[in-house]
Amino acid sequence: QSVLTQPPSVSAAPGQKVTISCSGSSSNFRGNYVSWYQHLPGTAPKVVIYEVNKRPSGIPDRFSGSKSGTSATLGITGLQTGDEADYYCAAWDQSLRTWLFGGGTKLTVL
């Protein structure tokens, strides 16, 4: 069982907005090393958000990130069918000196 908790699945229609939550303990999110990964079948995961709310080059601004207290959130607006994937949150827990991952959320674009 993962230390960080994500909903198993979320869904929304094309063009709509979806949010994916990631919850843990206060120490898990004390630092700013929170990241989110998009994993399409048959490919390697790809980072879409790092340091809570930063987007790597090439990631559209439809993707956003935030954190508050014991949770972090990934937001995706203007959903496209190409966004269908598994999404994983991750946080570097400085107290535990451990990199924690969530169990993953399957996004379905209906």
Partner 1 sequence: QLQLQESGPGLVKPAETLSLTCSVSGASISNNDYHWGWIRQSPGKGLDWIGSFYYTRITYYNPSLKSRVTMSVDTSKTQFSLKLTSVTAADTARYYCVSGRPGVADSWGQGTLVTVSS
**Which residues would be at the binding site for partner 1 (CB under 8 A)?**
2, 31-35, 37, 39, 43-47, 50-51, 56, 88, 90, 92, 96-104
CB atoms near residue 44 (< 10 Å): 7
- Check the CA dihedral 58-46-40-34 and report its sign: negative
| Strands in 2-104 per DSSP E | 9-12, 18-23, 34-39, 46-49, 63-68, 71-76, 85-93, 98-101
Distance in Å, CB of 44 to partner 1, minimum: 4
Nearer of residues 88 and 110 to partner 1, judged by Cβ:
88
Nearer of residues 96 and 110 to partner 1, judged by Cβ:
96
Taking alpha carbons only, the member of 96, 56, 48 closest to residue 72 is: 48
Distance in Å, CB of 86 to partner 1, minimum: 8
Taking alpha carbons only, the member of 13, 55, 23 closest to residue 38 is: 55
Distance in Å, CB of 92 to partner 1, minimum: 4
Distance in Å, CB of 80 to partner 1, minimum: 22
Nearer of residues 39 and 62 to partner 1, judged by Cβ:
39
